[in-house]
Chains A and B, each alone.
Chain A
Amino acid sequence: MINYHKAKKVGISILRKWIFIFLVGEILFFSIVGTNYFSLNNIQNILVASTIVLLLATGQTFVIITGGIDLSVGFMVGFSSVVCAKTMVSLEAAGFSQLLAITIGILTALLSGLIPGFINGFLVAKLRVPSFIATFGMYGIAYGFAEILCNNVPVHNLPTSLGSLGHGYLFYWLPGKIFNFLSKPENLIREELKNLVSIIPNVTVITFIFIGIFAFILAKTKFGQHTYAIGGNINAAERAGVNVKVHLIKVYMISSFFASLAGVMYVLQFITGRAPAGSARLIDAVVAVVIGGASLSGGKGTVMGTVIGAIIIGALETGLVNLSVPTYNLHIAVGCILIFAVLIDQFSPELIQNEGEI
Chain B
Amino acid sequence: MEPLLEVKNITKRFGGLTAVDDVSLQIYPGEVIGILGDNGAGKSTLIKVISGVHHAEAGQIFFKGQRIKINSTMEALRIGIETIYQDLALAENMDVYSNIFLGREKLRKFLGLVDVLDHEYMQSESKKVLKRLEIEIPSLKNKIRNLSGGQRQAVAISRSIYWNAKLLIMDEPTAALGVPEQKKVLNLVKTLSSQGVSIIIISHQLHDVFAVATRLIIMRRAQKVAERITKKTSADEVVSLIVGSLPGDYN
A residues apposed to B, CB below 8 Å: 216, 220-222, 225-226, 228-229, 231-233, 235-237, 239-242, 298-300, 350, 354-357
Known contacts A228-B91, A235-B87: does B105 contact A222 (CB below 8 Å)?
yes
Partner of A299, one of B74, B91, B102, B138: B91
Q: Mark B102-126, 1 if CB is under 8 A from A, else 0.
A: 1111010010001111000000000
| Interchain CB contact under 8 A, B117 and A221 | yes
B74 touching A241, Cβ below 8 Å: yes
User: Is B243 in the interface zone, CB < 8 Å from A?
Assistant: no
CB pair B115–A221 under 8 Å, yes or no, is yes
Would you list 18 pairs from A and B whose C-beta atoms are within 8 A, ordered by A residue?
A: A220-B117, A221-B114, A225-B105, A225-B117, A233-B91, A233-B92, A235-B89, A236-B88, A236-B91, A237-B91, A240-B103, A241-B104, A242-B103, A354-B145, A356-B141, A356-B143, A356-B146, A357-B138
In the bound complex, residues from chain A placing their C-beta under 8 Å from that of B103 are: 226, 229, 237, 240-242
Contact of A229 among B73, B87, B94, B145 (CB under 8 A): B94
Q: Are A357 and B139 in contact (CB under 8 A)?
A: yes
Q: Let me know if B89 and A299 touch, CB within 8 A.
A: no
User: What A residues does B142 contact at CB under 8 A?
Assistant: 354, 356-357
Q: Using Cβ atoms and an 8 Å threshold, which residues of chain A touch B88?
A: 236
B30: min CB distance to chain A, Å: 26
The answer to whether B94 touches A232 (Cβ under 8 A) is yes
What is the size, in residues, of chain B's interface with A at 8 Å between Cβ atoms?
31
Q: Is the CB of B90 within 8 A of A220?
A: no
> 5 closest A-B pairs (Cβ-Cβ)?
A240-B103, A232-B91, A299-B93, A232-B93, A241-B103
B203 in contact (CB, < 8 A): no
Please tell me if B98 contacts chain A, counting CB pairs below 8 Å: yes
Query: Taking each of B102, B139, B143, B146, which has the highest tally of chain A beta carbons within 10 Å of its own beta carbon?
Result: B102
B95 within 8 A of A: yes
Given contacts A225-B105, A228-B93, contact A220 B87 (CB under 8 A): no
Which residues on the B side are within 8 Å of A233 (C-beta)? 89-93
Interface contact tally, CB-CB below 8 A: 82
Contacts of B77 on A, CB cut-off 8 Å? 241
Cα A243 to Cα B141 with chains together (Å): 25
Contact present for A232 and B87 (CB under 8 Å): no
Instruction: Tell which of A216, A220, A236 touches B102, judged by Cβ atoms closer than 8 Å.
Output: A236
Q: Is the beta-carbon distance between B93 and A356 smaller than 8 angstroms? A: no
Bound-complex Cα distance A306 to B139 (A): 28
Q: Looking at A216, A242, A350, A357, which has the most chain B CB atoms within 10 Å of its CB?
A: A357
Q: For A298, what are the chain B residues with a Cβ–Cβ distance below 8 Å? A: 93
Whether the Cβ atoms of B116 and A354 lie closer than 8 Å is no
Q: Which residues of A contact B89 (CB under 8 A)?
A: 233, 235-236, 239-240
Nearest opposing residue in chain A for B99, CB measure: A236
Name the A residues within 8 Å of B99 (CB-CB).
236
The answer to whether A354 touches B143, judged by C-beta atoms less than 8 angstroms apart, is: yes
- Select one of B90, B143, B146 contacting A236, CB under 8 A: B90
Per the bound structure, the CA–CA distance linking A330 and B220 in Å amounts to: 68
Q: Which of B89, B93, B139 has the most CB of A within 10 A?
A: B93
Kindly list chain B residues whose C-beta atoms are within 8 Å of the C-beta of A354: 142-143, 145-146
B235: min CB distance to chain A, Å = 34
- Shortest distance from the beta carbon of B168 to any chain A beta carbon, whole Å: 15
B138 touches A242 (CB 8 A): no
Please tell me if the beta carbons of B107 and A222 are within 8 angstroms of each other in the complex. Answer: yes
User: Chain B nearest CB: distance from A201 CB in Å?
Assistant: 28
Q: Which residues of B contact A221 (CB under 8 A)?
A: 114-117
B2-55 with Cβ < 8 A to chain A: none
- A235-B89, A350-B145 known, 9 other contacts, Cβ within 8 Å: A221-B115, A222-B107, A225-B117, A226-B103, A228-B94, A237-B91, A240-B103, A300-B93, A357-B138
